[in-house]
Chain A
Amino acid sequence: MSLRVPNGAEALCNHTPHHVPAGRQLGRVRTNAPLGSLVWLTVDVPGWRSAKPGQFALLQSEPSRCFLARALSVADEVGERVSFLIAPVGEGTRELCELAPGAGVWVLGPLGNGFDTEHIGGSGGFPATCAPTSSSSRGRLLIVAGGVGMAPFPLLLSRVGDHAAVASSGGAPAETSACRLSEVVVLLGFRDAPQAQGAAKVVEAISRLREAGVSCRFALAVEDGSNGPAERVTDLLARELLPGDRLFVCGPAAMAASVWRTSCLVADVRTWFSLEAGMACGVGSCHGCALTLADGSMARVCHDGPVFAGESVFGLLTAAAHPADGGEEKS
């Protein structure tokens, strides 16, 4: 008697659906590029619809030892060629990191809301509701990421570049030019040098952004001291943050909380966090990825997020009501 690991995916391989669905697609791995301890996996996904930066997809290798798919940020895309930055932290992600070119992988996406970049480059990068209020740092976008949390940002940076190119060619409405995006600052934090190698894809995107004429600065903190002083990305942020800055954040929960506290100490800063939760369906069906918001209500990370405004997650704090970011974080 042979021992078979349960694998629900077998059902679909053998039988054509009664109706041909628009849904999860069986993609093929194009390249698997190790970047230190992370993997940059590029998959050809038939019928892939363009993602908004910060959106995610559910991935499951075919066949798989796992029952559920894994939620991963869309890191970059060119047509139907979609890339993901993956840390092999559990069985599902390890499976994905080991996929060879040509291997099958189920992909459902893009899912979730994503970062609101609709007006980047044209009207300063922000919707009217969050337009910068301080002239001292007008239109600065700060990207703050920890570890594999940098995954959504290569795509975001390339979209900023696309919008800037359109704007510089005369595509931006004249009345919005008063609040142009003045600068992008990318702050990345890593645990150690192998993890920091994943920054290569972000650095490539920054180079392209500069070529598109957008001012962009970049700083990197490595906790083990292998790249200058041993410090965290929140140390970089504390030195960098100016009134009026807008922050897009993705990283471990402790880092996110620390970024929020830091952001509360400076006037007119607004933050958006891409959050993570264990997911099953990814579309809002199962209510499994629930998150308790600051007002006590429940949100579904997959459906209402994964990007949330900082105040909705952490609640409104004032500088006086909360101590400055201390060294007690355990991230």
Chain B
Amino acid sequence: MSIPTVVPFAADMSVHLGPLRLEHPLINASGTMDIFELAETLGADILRHPPVAAYVPKTVTLRPRAGNPPPRILETVGGMINAIGLSSEGLQAFVAGQLPGLLALPCPLILSIGGFALQEYVALATGLRQALDASSPRWIDRIGLEVNISCPNVHSGCASIGSEPGETNEVVAAVREVWPGLLVAKLTPNVTDIRIIAQAAVAGGADVIAAVNTFKGLVIDRETLKPYLGNVVGGLSGPAIKPLALRAVYELFAAVEVPIIGMGGVASMQDVLDFMACGARVVAVGCAGLTDPWRADSLASGLSQALATRGMGLDELVGVAHSYAI
């Protein structure tokens, strides 16, 4: 097995999300990278040198869920559509099976929870907190929680909560009461005005806004002329959605004071610059990481070089697009 070669960045690339210190601003979007499956297939190096500055596991639900019937994915022009449907092993199996391995990773974690009612989010946050309290007294310094109120592929809860400011506020506030660590609200773009949802989440106690999840879409089977996906409707991602996601991040930066994790079609180094210029402090790689699990790591190197070339610091980059606004 080859020993990974550490190439130092040209300058300090670290960023902070509350108490979490990230070595650089590139992370993964939840559900697009399973670092343990990658390790099984490609070797354990990836566990010692994760390709992301913070690892976000797949959203966990309270009870086990099989997810949606197949087919679940299809490539589209400039991206892909998926309707996985929050398949999850459930909280109990996650805590017993995956959590110890996650805690052994050498990077911060942002655990992700999704539910169908306020009580489920509270039970998930409480269960995770209890498990973490039992594992390490200083976990708050390296573990955050993403409240996923944005999955478009389930028929109740989740994105239907995140589409309504009142419910968003209630769920985030209820989780805030039981979760002492970094709290991230992951928002759906399938709303009339994402700024109002974000403000409701921040008022409820969210420390960070993550935006955006996928855009609701539909594809037709070219033979049958019926909807292709087993769930009929799915979520569109990939470079095709990048301008839509950039608009959301741009608007959010002006609407909320908290840091933003920007995502939506990030594939190239220019995409990273664009999201950070619009106001993202951290950028998440989603489906581009499916074909290239090391994409986030490569983009971090590229960002370091781009900043050096421009003679620019990370702090100057974040939100710089707004200084040209009329």
- Against A, the Cβ 8 Å flags (1 = close, 0 = not) of B23-34 are 010000001111
Residues 102-145 of A, flagged 1 when their CB comes within 8 A of B and 0 if not, give 00001010010000000000000000000000000000000000
- B274 CB to nearest A CB, Å: 13
**Closest chain A residue to B84, Cβ basis:** A287
Q: Would you call the interface of chain B mostly helix, strand, loop, or mixed?
A: loop
Closest chain B residue to A24, Cβ basis = B292
Q: Mark A51-81, 1 if CB is under 8 A from B, else 0.
A: 0000000101000001111000000000000
Given contacts A8-B292, A12-B292, A283-B34, contact A17 B69 (CB under 8 A): no
Tell me the complex Cα distance, A285–B66, Å.
15
CB distance from B24 to the nearest CB of A (A): 8
User: Which among A7, A66, A285, A292 is the interface contact of B69 at CB below 8 angstroms?
Assistant: A292
For the residues of A in contact with B, the DSSP-based class is loop
B75 within 8 A of A: yes
Whether the pair A11, B295 counts as a contact (CB closer than 8 A) is yes
In contact, A286 and B42 (Cβ under 8 angstroms):
no
Q: Which residues of chain B come closer than 8 Å to A174, judged between CB atoms?
A: none
List, in ascending order, chain B residues with CB within 8 A of A68's CB.
75, 80, 290-291
A17-28 interface code vs B (CB 8 A; 1 in, 0 out): 111111110000
- A residues in contact with B1, CB < 8 Å: 22
CB of B293 within 8 A of chain A? Answer: yes
Tell me whether B4 and A21 are in contact (CB under 8 A).
yes
In whole Å, how far is B240's beta carbon from the nearest beta carbon of chain A? 7
Query: Does B190 belong to the interface (CB within 8 Å)?
Result: no
In the bound assembly, the distance between CA atoms of A92 and B74 in angstroms comes to: 12
Instruction: Decide if A8 touches B49 in the complex (CB within 8 Å).
Output: no
As a 0/1 sequence over residues 60 to 75 of chain B, the CB contacts with chain A under 8 angstroms (1 = contact) are 0000001111111111
Q: List 28 A-B contacts (CB under 8 A).
A: A6-B265, A6-B267, A8-B238, A12-B292, A15-B298, A15-B301, A15-B302, A18-B9, A19-B5, A19-B7, A19-B45, A19-B294, A21-B42, A68-B75, A68-B291, A111-B41, A278-B72, A278-B75, A280-B287, A283-B42, A285-B38, A286-B34, A287-B67, A288-B82, A289-B72, A292-B70, A297-B66, A298-B87
Binding site for B on A (CB under 8 A): 5-12, 14-24, 58, 60, 66-69, 92, 106, 108, 111, 277-281, 283-292, 297-298, 303
Enumerate chain B interface residues (CB-CB to A < 8 A): 1-2, 4-7, 9, 24, 31-34, 37-38, 40-43, 45-46, 49, 51, 58, 66-76, 78-80, 82, 84, 87, 238-240, 265, 267-269, 287-288, 290-295, 297-302, 305
A-B pairs, top 9 by smallest CB distance, nearest first, are A8-B267, A6-B239, A288-B73, A284-B37, A15-B302, A19-B4, A285-B34, A6-B78, A281-B290
